[in-house]
Structure 1
Amino acid sequence: MSQNPDRVIVDAHQHLWELSRTPQPWIEPVMMPELARDFGPVQHRELLLSAGIESAILVQTVNTEEETAWLLDVAAQVGAAGVVGWVDLVGTDVGRQIADLRARQGGAKLVGVRHLTHLEPDTGWLERDDVRRGIAAVGRAGLPVELVVNARQLPFIPDLVQALPDVQFVLDHLGYPPVDAAALDTWEHLLVSIAAAENTAAKFSGLRLSALQGSAHEIHGRRIRDVALLSFGPARLMWGSDWPLVLRDGSYAQWLMIASELMCDLSPREAERFWAGTAVEIYQVGDP
């Protein structure tokens, strides 16, 4: 958490990886040279120092316990606010997995659980009974469950969040609003349905900067903002950078500036929630 001249900011969504430790097979070195390198503790500290942000939530990138253990170690080392890690949701011992992670070095930094659902070939993976039992177990352990889903999976989320009212859910990247304006109506309807469940929050993150910049795209960006605020309100929205993925077509500073411009009309109390308060409350990371 950090104190900028005019606001406190918690970056609710950052990734770290060392490719020799946690390979990222989706990165194509020729097409994505900006991502085909290590982003470890040193780069993390340099980024936050340059942006005037002292802490962030680190989020898993592969479905392995080994990566989560490494992120917990790093979080303790660099003073990150917390880690959204991975456990095997279809296992019969989800509670034990979480207890084991909490018992290891840096385990107090575990603040949430996420599975890369968008990579599952089964579109209805979140409807499976074993998956829902695992999600319910995460909720009983007092941790939120983050949802990263593709467009085919987003329609399953309203039923999921309503079926498990005791679980706190966080929808990553606003469910990836489509760049195609014609498809925004369907996305808007689903977002409103998801937000109707009070046990949901969302991250204002992961948006393609190229679709938000310039006069031709300003209307698109404002519509996404309006839908997000109408659905969740600032009290259930949090800002995240999605670094280093934000480097695909922009920079950390650019996204911070765009988000600041889009949210410039928030009241002081609303701004406090969006930039810090929601993340502090959801992840229980202490007062900024």
Structure 2
Amino acid sequence: MTVERITDTHCHIIDRTVLDYPWLSDAPALDRDWSIETYTQEARQAGITRTLHMEVDVATDQIDNETDYIAGLADRQESLICGIIAACRPENNDFGDQIAAAQAHPLVKGFRRPLHVVPDALSEQPLFRDNIRQLATAGLPFDICVTARQLPQAQRLVDAAPQTQFILDHCGVPDIAGAGWNSWAAEITALSQRDNLSVKISGLPAYAQAGWTARDLERWVMHVVEQFTPARCVWGGDWPVCTLGGSLTDWVSATRSILAKLSTQERAAILDENATHIWGLT
């Protein structure tokens, strides 16, 4: 049987010898280097054929340095990195310059500003929303990273920029270990009505109880797929954060098991083809 291609839309490389990551001091389980070599070896074995690097919330003054560093890794022979989702600061007046720099960089395919680590009011500011609306013209999608309680906030941002393409990271960060189903499921259903929003099936191993199985994750994944349809879902490994609940290999295996009930075409869309369309990959 042919193993289906996987585009990993969410890989983090951490190199503390090159960049500063202020948040790592509060995450001791992740507070070390996570190299491209380590990721690549496991990713290839798991069937991942290409990767988008997701910004890792480096120190603000090193955002451009992170992009340049990852671009250097992408230039290596047989690198899996096919694009970069770069950090940005839509709350700043110079956001137009950030857009221009991204458009001039062939590997930058989109932006993310993590919203779960800043005050909720940040994305409600007129400047922030005006800047996010500019991404539509620039053709740069925006990843939304919020916790489950912030899903109404995500909905307001998506509604404020109806021409911008958004991707909801980590299925909206459900509390799987705490069985926080009802409000999360309702918010996912509401968000799925926004045509300019897709969802990333990622992150779930870190939110489940230790020793989780594919069956433990299945209803959470399938609710997202059923509400957004396979046409608006992509997949992400979220390495190395996924190691908090297992391994990248475990997550790939669980994903294949959960999605096995879908058609070949639907699986191909989620695991590979939708990413090509959203981020303009080649």
Fold shared by both chains (TM-score > 0.5): yes
**Corresponding position: 1:96 with 2:97:** yes
Residue of structure 2 equivalent to 1:139 = 136
Residue of structure 2 equivalent to 1:247 = 243
Residue of structure 1 equivalent to 2:82 = 81
Gaps of 5+ in 1: none
- The alignment partner of 1:81 has SS state of strand
**CA separation in 2, counterparts of 1:237 and 1:30?**
29
Q: Alpha carbons of 1:142 and 1:218: their partners in 2 closer, same or farther (altered >3 Å)?
A: closer
Residue of structure 1 equivalent to 2:40 = 45
Q: Alpha carbons of 1:149 and 1:29: their partners in 2 closer, same or farther (altered >3 Å)?
A: closer
2:147–2:174 contact (8 Å) kept in structure 1: no
Quote the offset at 1:29 in angstroms: 9.0
Q: Alpha carbons of 1:30 and 1:76: their partners in 2 closer, same or farther (altered >3 Å)?
A: closer
1:94–1:138 contact (8 Å) kept in structure 2: no
**CA separation in 2, counterparts of 1:40 and 1:181?**
32
In terms of mean alpha carbon deviation, does 93-102 or 255-264 score higher? 93-102
Q: Alpha carbons of 1:39 and 1:170: their partners in 2 closer, same or farther (altered >3 Å)?
A: same
In terms of mean alpha carbon deviation, does 226-235 or 22-31 score higher? 22-31
Gaps of 5+ in 2: none
Quote the offset at 1:8 in angstroms: 1.6
Q: Alpha carbons of 1:218 and 1:251: their partners in 2 closer, same or farther (altered >3 Å)?
A: closer
Q: Tell me which amino acid in the other structure corresponds to 2:133.
A: A
What TM-score, normalized by structure 1, do the two folds share? Answer: 0.87
**Corresponding position: 1:176 with 2:177:** no
In terms of mean alpha carbon deviation, does 150-159 or 270-279 score higher? 150-159
**Percent identity for Structure 1 against Structure 2:** 28
Q: Alpha carbons of 1:123 and 1:210: their partners in 2 closer, same or farther (altered >3 Å)?
A: closer
In terms of mean alpha carbon deviation, does 200-209 or 93-102 score higher? 93-102
**CA separation in 2, counterparts of 1:84 and 1:138?**
13
**CA separation in 2, counterparts of 1:10 and 1:79?**
9
1:172–1:202 contact (8 Å) kept in structure 2: yes
Of 185, 188, 192, which aligns to 1:191?
188
Task: Kindly report structure 1 stretches of 4+ aligned residues shifted beyond 4 Å.
Answer: 28-31, 216-220
Could you say what the CA RMSD is over the residues aligned between the two structures, in angstroms? Answer: 2.4
Quote the offset at 1:17 in angstroms: 1.3
Q: Alpha carbons of 1:213 and 1:267: their partners in 2 closer, same or farther (altered >3 Å)?
A: farther
Quote the offset at 1:154 in angstroms: 1.7
Residue of structure 2 equivalent to 1:19 = 16
